[in-house]
Every structure is written in C-alpha cells, then in structure tokens.
Structure 1
Amino acid sequence: MKINLSGHHVEVNDSIKEHIEEKFSKIANHFPTLISLDVIVSKEHHQYQVELTTNYEGGRISATGLDGVMYPAIANAAKKLDAALKHRKGQLKANMHTKPGATTPEIAHEKVQEMNLS
C-alpha cells in the first residue's frame, strides 16, 4: 500500500513517516485490496488533526483523528479508518447474499379453504 503523507503547519520527518507506516501496516494486511492512502497531518489551535482518505472497493472512505499530541491523533485516526473499512467490507458481503423472502405458500391457503372445519 502506498502512503501519501503531507503536513500542514507540521514538519513531516522520518520518525513520523515510520510511525505512520507501522500503524497502517496492520490495516494493509487486513485489507490487501487497498492501493493507496492519503494522510494529511495538520496543526491548528494547538490541536493535531490527522485526515485519512482512501478508496476501498468503489467507495471513498475517510477518517479524522484529533488530539493535543500528534501520535495519539494518528492512532485515533487509524482506529476510525479500520472501523470504517470493516463496515464497508460488511456491507459488500451482505449484498452478495440473497435474502429469503417471507411468503406463505398458496397451496396451504387453498387447503385450509377446502377443509370442513365445522
């Protein structure tokens, strides 16, 4: 999985890159069809915000994490992205199965009408 990392009012250094690659390696293993992930780390009003966006099976998925410290904000966003990907995967699997319809057979109705219940 390719990770496109950029910073807004934050200098992105090697330790941040390594931490992000480590966090998202688990997600890449669980969802091997993910091709790329866009990560934007920004700092505004003494809060770090991490925005994640990706495409998974035809749907655009995004997640954000906020915290006063950068590393918990990354962990927060990773947790939300994992939950969103699992939800999307569940939706796709549910659409593959045919749902049985609740119907009453016509034969049973006809047989009850023919019976002499008096």
Structure 2
Amino acid sequence: MNLTISGHHVEVTPAIREYVHTKLERIRRHFDQVIDITVTLTVDKLSEKEKRHKADIDLHISGKDIHVESLAHDLYAAIDTLIDKLDRQVIKHKDKVQGHDRDAIKHIPDPASA
C-alpha cells in the first residue's frame, strides 16, 4: 500500500502524518485490498476568522477508485469526518463485491421436488 500525504498552504507535520496514518488503520481493518492512497490537506484563508480546512482522499482499490472530501474549521475534525465518510464507502463497496457471488433463487434445487 502506497500512502502519500501532501499539504497545500499547510505544513504536514509528523504529528499530522501519524494522525492520518492511525486513522487509516480502520480502513485497512475493513478492506485489505488497498493499492494506493493519496491524502491532500488544504487550508483556505478567506479571512483570519474564517479559516477553512479541507481534507480529500483518493483511494485506489482493486476494481474501483474512491474520492472523498471533507470541510471543517479544524484540520483534525476534517480528517475525522473524511475517514468516517471513506469508511462508509469502503464498507459499501466491500458488501457489493462480496454479495454478488451467491446463487440465484431459481438455481437452488427445491427440496420438496426431490
């Protein structure tokens, strides 16, 4: 798994890098076929009172690319919201992938006719 964390108008400190890394462990716990992850952290300075922190992630897994973004007034809150959204999408994708291998009802033999 390749993990790339970059910042736009924000310095990515080791503390932020470690926080993102520990939060992404939850994604790997649900789905282990992750190929590539790119996290971009951005600070938009509209005014001094209105700093908007944006976190977006591109997740490349086998068969699909997932893009999620989140906005908050705090960078850590944006990361938390981002991971929650990503976790829901990964679980949804995992259910779709694992749910289609069941047999259709019309192909199951009827025990009453046997």
TM-score range relative to shorter protein: 0.7 to 0.9
The two structures have a TM-score, normalised by structure 1, of 0.79
The structure with more helix, counted as a fraction of residues: 1
Secondary structure of 2:105's counterpart equals coil
Identity over aligned residues, as a percent?
A: 26
The structure with more strand, counted as a fraction of residues: 2
Consecutive aligned runs of 4 or more in structure 1 exceeding 4 Å deviation: none
Provide the residue aligned with 1:21 in structure 2: 21
Stretches of structure 2 lacking an aligned partner (at least 5 in a row) = 107-114
Q: Per-residue displacement from partner, 1:71-92 (whole Å, max 9, x unpaired)?
A: 0100000000000000011111
Compute the RMSD of aligned alpha carbons. 1.3
Task: Kindly state the Cα deviation for residue 57 of structure 1 after the two structures are TM-superposed.
Answer: 2.5
The two structures have a TM-score, normalised by structure 2, of 0.81
Within the candidate set 39, 48, 56, 2:53 is matched to 48
Provide the residue aligned with 1:32 in structure 2: 32
Q: Per-residue displacement from partner, 1:66-114 (whole Å, max 9, x unpaired)?
A: 100000100000000000000011111222123324xxxxxxxxxxxxx
For the residues of structure 1 that align with 2:78 and 2:7, how far apart are their CA atoms? 14
Instruction: Tell me which amino acid in the other structure corresponds to 1:95.
Output: H
Provide the residue aligned with 1:10 in structure 2: 10
